[in-house]
Amino acid sequence: MTLNNFREEKNKMAKAAQESQGLLMPKATSVWLIENTALTFKQIADFTGITEIEVEALANEEIGKGLVGRDPIEHGELTREELDRCESNPGESLSISKRDLPTAKIRSKGPRYTPVSKRGDKPDAIAYILKFNPEISDAQICKLVGTTKPTIASIREKSHPNTPNLRPRHPAELGLCTYQEFETAYNKGLKAAGKDPETIKAQREAALLQTQENDRQNAQSNASTGGFDFSNFLPDSMTSSGNNSSDN
């Protein structure tokens, strides 16, 4: 690669990185360009990143009615020279000006937000998971319920202030997560423990069917024996009189 080719490639990469930052308010910028320049709808669409149809709708006030235009020159996103160049040649495309502002960093995803009305249910949800789904890790519980590891530890060790009043309840039934999110976390925990989620699911279904079959058989057995035996609840006098009459 020659020196000139290297410089051209470097300039292309710099321009691509610059343009990838995008505009802060593309629709408001479009409104300003529509009202204050002779650019075509296509030029405005290419610059702002919205569709040409949207630009035309903004121009006709079919959308964005009352939207205040944003001057890209004043905010350092476009130079007057670049604007003049493209206004005189409709086939040219605008380039976003290089800005000295640092690239915005995406905030790492924190704990799940829980409405105030639901926050009191978190300990019950944690207790449920610890009791019935120990395969789910503490990190996964934090994401599902929106809690912290120290809180989980206090419930596990029964040192939580509300331990005597805890009622294990499914977090999805409490509205702290969806059933799909819970199932995903459960399957992930099973895999981490070296267990096959499908096998475990089949075993759970088999156990449930067996329980239902046992209940059915018990119901049939009670029906065949005439139902509930009330003899234990009869007064002693009635029992003794019955015995005396049999003796006579």
Regions in the chain scoring below 50 on pLDDT: 1, 10, 12-20, 103-108, 239, 245-246, 248
- What per-residue confidence (pLDDT) applies to 16? 43
Residue owning tokens 């018990």: 218
- What per-residue confidence (pLDDT) applies to 219? 80
- What per-residue confidence (pLDDT) applies to 177? 87
- What per-residue confidence (pLDDT) applies to 199? 87
Indicate the length of the chain as a whole number: 248
- What per-residue confidence (pLDDT) applies to 20? 39
pTM of the predicted protein model: 0.42
Give the whole-angstrom CA distance, residue 169 versus residue 171: 6
Give the whole-angstrom CA distance, residue 28 versus residue 70: 5
- What per-residue confidence (pLDDT) applies to 81? 93
- What per-residue confidence (pLDDT) applies to 18? 43
Take residue 213 and report the two structure tokens written for it.
């079959």
- What per-residue confidence (pLDDT) applies to 228? 54
